């Protein structure tokens, strides 16, 4: 990444950290297939199992309950299924309940039919309606199969933290399975699959400074498991077939080990930078709207709109000035369309929001430079709005 540019889009992907890069390079020198029993194969297998322990440590899980996938999207597609096994017996899950602000990989419902997916509303801060969840689960017909609840620990656009513990308590009260998307929370909050009350947890490597193209489905136990999304050779204990990618997995493991160190201290530092940015924006643009600012949220994330300025226009303007920010989430910012998160919150989804997400390499000087560019963009906005009141 060019040093002449300022990267403020960590929620989309974090730059590869050096320990992950080193682990990947070392793994690339290993010739063996991790499923082979000879010395070369065993060496590759040992590398994967070390990474499995590192990822398990990040999530407070047993290493035997970590299933490596190509990313969190595949992990979601694996776990969001109506077909489960408990031992050798089949087990049906009849309905999936998700919040309306989930990541698209959760919102689409995985392998559930559309009519078997219910989206739960959120308030103006983007927090899920707990009473609606309780009512839905109370009305769920368990004779047709179990219910499943899927919820983010932290939203990828607003950074808002969902009350996962309360959601889990409601789910357990009604005998529902609990899936937690911890992709954005990893490395920024302490994560413990058991403390969260989750049956399954999703993680993604590239959000914590590891390589792209690898993630994990983490299970609280091994008794009840989803039917495989990718059957075949039986890798990952038969839960995800296909030869593992030792280099990517090694990088993921190294990044997970770093991410597990002092998340609270990191959050304090990031929060100071984020607050500095927001205070400066407010001082220059009093009409700026900050989303989810009244609810607990990730310390690294600021999501806001400037009346009269489309988020896509602002994103392009920042990019031309050497600053990378996002107009919403990375999975949707490459295409024209309103933010489903803002729409669910009852906000102006057409105007969109500018997401600034900072990380380990962000400095106070970066924030100052962002504000210099912001001043230019805001001055143009105010001029255009005064002249014609139109969106630019």
Angle, in degrees to the nearest 10, between helices 39-59 and 246-259: 30
Residue 349: pLDDT band (50, 70, 90) is confident
Lowest mean pLDDT among 2-11, 14-23, 44-53, 200-209: 2-11
User: Which pair of structure tokens corresponds to residue 277?
Assistant: 């940015």
Say whether 191 sits in a helix, a strand or coil: coil
Structural element, H or E, at residue 257: helix 246-259
Asked if 353 contacts 329 with a C-beta cutoff of 8 angstroms, the reply is no
Q: What is the pLDDT of residue 333?
A: 44
Q: What is the pLDDT of residue 202?
A: 98
Torsional sign, CA 231, 234, 238, 244? negative
Asked if 343 contacts 271 with a C-beta cutoff of 8 angstroms, the reply is no
Strand segments (E) across 87-239: 89-99, 117-120, 146-152, 177-181, 200-204, 215-219, 224-226
In this prediction, residues 343-372 reach a mean pLDDT of 95
The mean of the pLDDT values for the chain is 94
In this prediction, residues 330-352 reach a mean pLDDT of 77
**Residue 95 bridge partners (DSSP):** 147
Asked if 359 contacts 270 with a C-beta cutoff of 8 angstroms, the reply is yes
Q: What is the pLDDT of residue 332?
A: 47
CA distance 383 to 369: 22
C-alpha distances in Å from residue 13, one per residue of 20, 72, 346: 14, 13, 27
Buried b (16+ CB within 10 A) or exposed e, 270-280: beebbeebbeb
In this prediction, residues 27-45 reach a mean pLDDT of 96
Asked if 203 contacts 69 with a C-beta cutoff of 8 angstroms, the reply is no
Look up tokens 């509303």; give the residue: 121
Please calculate the CA angle 25-27-32 and round it to the nearest 5 degrees.
145
Residue 307: pLDDT band (50, 70, 90) is very high
DSSP letter for 309, please: B
Domains defined for the chain, CATH in brackets: 6-15+262-388 (3.90.1150.10), 20-259 (3.40.640.10)
Residue 387: pLDDT band (50, 70, 90) is confident
Q: What is the pLDDT of residue 3?
A: 60
Asked if 159 contacts 303 with a C-beta cutoff of 8 angstroms, the reply is yes
Q: Is the pLDDT of residue 390 over 80?
A: no
Q: Count other C-beta atoms under 10 Å from residue 30's C-beta.
A: 18
Please calculate the CA angle 366-367-371 and round it to the nearest 5 degrees.
115
Residue 143: pLDDT band (50, 70, 90) is very high
In this prediction, residues 267-272 reach a mean pLDDT of 96
Asked if 185 contacts 327 with a C-beta cutoff of 8 angstroms, the reply is no
Residue 350: pLDDT band (50, 70, 90) is confident
Strand segments (E) across 182-321: 200-204, 215-219, 224-226, 289-290, 301-305
Q: Count other C-beta atoms under 10 Å from residue 108's C-beta.
A: 17
Please report which residue ranges of 84-152 form alpha helices under DSSP H: 104-107, 130-139
331 is catalytic: yes
- Among the listed residues 105, 219, 288, 331, the single catalytic one is 331
Q: What is the pLDDT of residue 384?
A: 87
Q: How far apart are the first and last CA of the chain?
A: 30
User: Which pair of structure tokens corresponds to residue 187?
Assistant: 């490395």
DSSP letter for 227, please: P
Residue 256: pLDDT band (50, 70, 90) is very high
Which of 296, 299, 217 has the alpha carbon at shortest distance from 263?
A: 299
C-alpha distances in Å from residue 332, one per residue of 150, 221, 327: 20, 34, 9
Q: Is the pLDDT of residue 189 over 90?
A: yes
In this prediction, residues 24-29 reach a mean pLDDT of 97
Q: What is the pLDDT of residue 388?
A: 79
């Amino acid at each position: 990444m060019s040093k002449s540019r300022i990267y403020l889009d960590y929620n989309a992907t974090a730059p590869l950290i050096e320990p992950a890069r080193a682990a990947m390079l070392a793994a690339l020198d290993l010739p063996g297939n991790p499923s082979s029993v000879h010395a070369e194969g065993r060496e590759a297998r040992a590398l994967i199992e070390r990474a499995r322990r590192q990822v398990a440590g990040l999530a407070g899980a047993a290493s035997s309950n970590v299933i490596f996938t190509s990313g969190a999207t595949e992990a979601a597609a694996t776990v969001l299924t109506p077909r489960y096994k408990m031992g050798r017996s089949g087990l049906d899950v009849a309905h999936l309940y998700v919040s309306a602000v989930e990541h698209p990989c959760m919102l689409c419902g995985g392998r559930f039919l559309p009519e078997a997916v219910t989206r739960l509303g959120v308030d103006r801060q983007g927090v899920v309606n707990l009473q609606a969840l309780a009512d839905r689960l109370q009305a769920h017909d368990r004779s047709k199969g179990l219910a499943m609840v899927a919820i983010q620990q932290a939203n990828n656009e607003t950074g808002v933290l969902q009350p996962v513990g309360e959601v889990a308590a409601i789910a357990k009260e009604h005998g529902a399975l609990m899936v937690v998307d911890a992709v954005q929370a990893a490395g920024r909050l302490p994560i413990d699959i058991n403390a969260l009350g989750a049956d399954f947890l999703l993680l993604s490597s590239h959000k914590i400074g590891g390589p792209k193209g690898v993630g994990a489905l983490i299970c609280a136990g091994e008794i009840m498991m989803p039917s495989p999304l990718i059957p075949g050779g039986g890798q990952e204990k038969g839960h995800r077939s296909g030869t593992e990618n030792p280099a990517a997995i090694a990088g993921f493991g190294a990044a997970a080990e770093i991410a597990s160190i002092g998340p609270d201290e990191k959050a304090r530092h990031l929060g100071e930078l984020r607050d500095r940015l927001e205070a400066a924006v407010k001082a220059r643009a009093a009409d700026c709207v900050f989303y989810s600012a009244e609810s607990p949220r990730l310390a690294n994330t600021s999501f806001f709109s400037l009346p009269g300025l489309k988020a896509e226009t602002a994103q392009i303007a920042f990019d031309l000035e050497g600053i990378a920010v996002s107009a919403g989430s990375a999975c949707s910012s490459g295409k024209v369309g309103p933010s489903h998160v803002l729409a669910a919150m009852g906000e102006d989804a057409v105007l969109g929001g500018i997401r600034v997400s900072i990380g380990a390499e962000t400095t106070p000087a970066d924030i100052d430079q962002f504000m210099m560019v912001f001043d230019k963009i805001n001055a143009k906005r105010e001029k255009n709005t005064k002249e014609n009141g139109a969106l630019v």
